[in-house]
Chains A and B, each alone.
Chain A
Amino acid sequence: MATEKFDLKQEIETLREDCLRPTRTFGRSSQIWVGFLLAVMAWGIFCYIRQLRYGLGVTAMRDYVSWGMYISTFVFFIGISHSGTLVSAILRITKQEWRRPITRSAELLTFVSLCFGGIQPIIDLGHPERILNLVMYGRVQSPLMWDVISIMTYFTGSTVFLFLPMIPDMALCRDRLTVVDTRYKKFKKWLYTKLAIGWKGTKTQWHLLEKTMGTMTIVIIPVAVSVHTVVSYIFAMTLRPGWNSTVFGIYFVAGALYSGSAGVILGMAAFRKIYHFEKYLTPRHFDLIGKVVLALTLVYAYLNMNEYWIPAYKMATAEGHLLSDLFYGNYSKIFWTCQFGTVLIPIVIMSFPKGRKITPLVITCIVIVIGAWVKRYLIVVPTMLHPFLPIQDVTKEWSTYFPNYVEFSVEAASLAGMLLIITMFSKLFPMMAVWEVEEGIEIDYDKEVAVELGKQRIADHAKAAAEAVKVSNGQLKQPA
């Protein structure tokens, strides 16, 4: 009765196959892509080994700029990692239906950027082999210690948060594996069976899963906020001009959400294109998440104003020197490019429905993500170059900073590592939460059915009414 244009079974079958298809192929282009990523990583690892051997002196960092690109990237990656929490948890809590095809890639982005964000400070260490000193002699008064605790907590949480909605999909993969011939079947079978943890889709299992999901959705939000707050504290807890700011915690959280949500759009666009998810990730999805990014960019812009306008009004001595350098000194070009190009102009673009169409939105988001990275650099480096005491009698090499090939190579390797994990993940697991999208389809179907039923009822009702009218008319006629 329902309708021919909406065949539920057929619909769900198509979805499942669409989602599982990428996990069954590993074509030439994928091989080249993975090879390229591995090559970039190999070079980065080589540079890092050199750094271990000859010391951090192989980087461009020196005593005045003792934190450089590594720490900027650390902040940036941790920022990107906020994407999963935002899109997934917040949209889940607010029961936004359009979140369904987005959550998996968002959660994966969180997981991966946390992996590589978390290792940045370790790459930056002079003695990474002494990392266990954190356990043996750890001081909880240190902001860096808060980072370690908080990031570990967030990492564990986001891994669980990524894993939970994967369980039913793992069962699906496990069950469908036998149907189609694939490579590495044995390994995949073992993997899917392990990860499906005996999922059969019983009522109790669904009930338990929904419960855990509900708890995690709520817990992960404050944890995510805590992470970026304490990341900002490694700067804000110092007395240095530019860092000595009470707005830093929320400023970093907002910056993280801003760059993270833009990162999600990039992920969405990439999977849509590569794995042909056009049917599920529609322009409407992009429009809606575009609005989210717009809102977050506005918040971020507001906090930027707080961060710079308040001290700029006062121009206190040491801070004044830093601000003049940012506003019209050595860093002015890059600073204003960041403020206008990656904050204000994107706001204007995304304010228009046309700006939230897929292509302009993706370009805007690329700009935002790069801008966020550069902004982290602008937070870290200029402050280090403006200590309270003047920089005197130091060679140029020791008193200026621009990352050199070692830092670029290591960061390129980090990025390549992120992309590699995402690629490998998408070649093993469905990049959409199949059951969630299914649920969405079912809801739509129910709605459709309801509409059909309603129509039917209205029609029946009208018919009955007409009959009644006829009857009554007849009755009326009769006496007449």
Chain B
Amino acid sequence: MSQLTEDNKENGNETNPESNEAGRRNFLKFGALAAGLTVVGGGLGKVFSSEKEPGEKVKVLNTGDGKVYEADVNHLQECNMPPVSMTEARRGIANKKFVMVIDLAKCDGCKKCTEACQTAHYIPSEREWLKVFKMKESEATAPYFFPKPCFHCDNPPCTKVCPVNATFKRQDGIVLIDNERCIGCRSCMAACPYSTRFFNWSAPSAEEVAAVGNIPYSPERGLPRKMGTVEKCDFCPDMLRQGKMPHCVSGCPMDVIYFGDQNEDAVTNGSGVTVKLSQLLEENNGYRHLEELGTEARVYYLPPKNRKYPVPEMKEDESGEKKDSKPKKMDMGSMQM
């Protein structure tokens, strides 16, 4: 486990920019928590210890109080341990409610978000945690692209039906899966109305095993993949603990996806533009997909109004051919705006 070492407690003083009272109070908390401060993952240690220059600061999210601190990268120990303990991975980050906003008006369907996600999570090509759909409600309405991650519902149908508590809802709103407990009954896949969950039908490929390496398993990372268990978009909790946004957010060149903490009423897009969540939703008529199902999704959509790109072309056979043998009317599902 990467942990702040003893001497970092002292160095923490230097890294803390503030010197007034409030800042000191902050720091005192920091110091007190340092011993129990589980910082960032083995993944992080691997990435940064070799590449970053000495003295570089990394943002570190304290899981105790949900605050972000900056720590010197050299004081993060690299060891091959899961980012956080199993208990911590199940509890989630305190005082946070993660939320995502997807601006359909900006999405041009380039699937860079999907690519970033696939690469970061070593996802086999036949499944996409974040899938970009081409949607068209009815014949007369205009088609649009619809990126769909896991909605991390507050009333999650998947979590309700799990017989062994392998999938769980954390206090920060994230729904995760513990693949060391999952029995592979796929009840959750049947229960999810958004087709968000995927099953490891076979063992991960040799390339994947080599790429992932022999890292210890954590639900926050979902790696190494385990045959016979269910997986899905996880809002990248390992990144969040580092104070970084999910891969899809930073991977989107159009700044379609916003991510943030609902408790702070703020979301940030891939370019770092931070806006007020309530205002964003109010001004753009934000909605949730299939609100009538009552799943209380944590992902909001902004309708595709005033598009910044031409309307996508919908070919009759494009989805028809792949879906069914017979070309037929587009099966778009119900969708409310």
Contacts and interface: CB of A to CB of B under 8 A. Distances in A.
A237 B192 CA distance: 11
Contacts of B164: 130, 133-134, 136-139
Given A240-B190, A329-B328, A133 B181 contact: yes
B190 A387 contact: no
A275 interface: no
Interface string B269-295: 000000000000000000000100101
A315 B335 CA distance: 15
Interface of A is mostly: loop
Interface string B158-195: 00111111100000000000000111111101110111
Given A66-B199, A239-B293, A388 B191 contact: no
Nearest to A128: B183
Given A133-B183, A139-B163, A321-B331, A390 B126 contact: no
Interface string A239-277: 110010000000000000000000000000000000000
A126 to B, nearest CB: 2
Contacts of B295: 239
B148 interface: yes
Nearest to B319: A392
Contact of A126 (B191, B194, B228): B228
B293 A125 contact: no
A227 interface: no
B164 to A, nearest CB: 4
Contacts of A316: 334
A126 B183 contact: yes
B330 interface: yes
A64 B199 CA distance: 10
Contact of A57 (B182, B201, B229, B325): B201
A127 B163 contact: no
Interface string A128-152: 1011011011110111110010000
Nearest to A316: B334
B163 A138 contact: yes
Contact of A54 (B131, B197, B202, B325): B202
Q: Select the residue from B163, B202, B333 with max chain A CB neighbours within 10 A.
A: B163
Contacts of A393: 131, 319, 322
Contact of B186 (A67, A142, A318, A390): A67
Given A387-B333, A389-B133, A143 B187 contact: yes
B332 interface: yes
A391 interface: yes
Interface stretch (A5-13, A394-402, A466-474): A394-402
B165 A144 contact: no
Nearest to B180: A130
Contacts of A64: 195
B45 interface: no
B157 A125 contact: no
Interface of B is mostly: loop
A240 B157 CA distance: 11
A139 B162 CA distance: 7
Contacts of A239: 157, 191, 193, 293, 295
A126 B333 contact: no
Given A318-B334, A390-B331, A134 B293 contact: no
Contact of B126 (A124, A127, A133, A395): A395
Contacts of A390: 133, 135, 319, 323, 330-333
Interface in A91-150: 121, 124-128, 130-131, 133-134, 136-139, 141-145, 148
B199 A388 contact: no
A62 interface: yes
B69 to A, nearest CB: 34
A56 B227 CA distance: 9
20 contacts: A54-B203, A56-B201, A121-B185, A125-B183, A125-B185, A127-B183, A130-B164, A130-B183, A138-B165, A143-B161, A237-B160, A238-B191, A321-B331, A321-B333, A388-B195, A388-B293, A390-B331, A392-B131, A392-B319, A393-B322
Given A139-B165, A145-B163, A387-B194, 8 more contacts: A56-B201, A58-B202, A61-B201, A126-B229, A137-B165, A239-B191, A239-B193, A399-B322
Interface of B: 126-127, 131, 133-135, 148, 157, 160-166, 181-187, 189-191, 193-195, 197-203, 227-230, 290, 293, 295, 319, 322-326, 328, 330-334
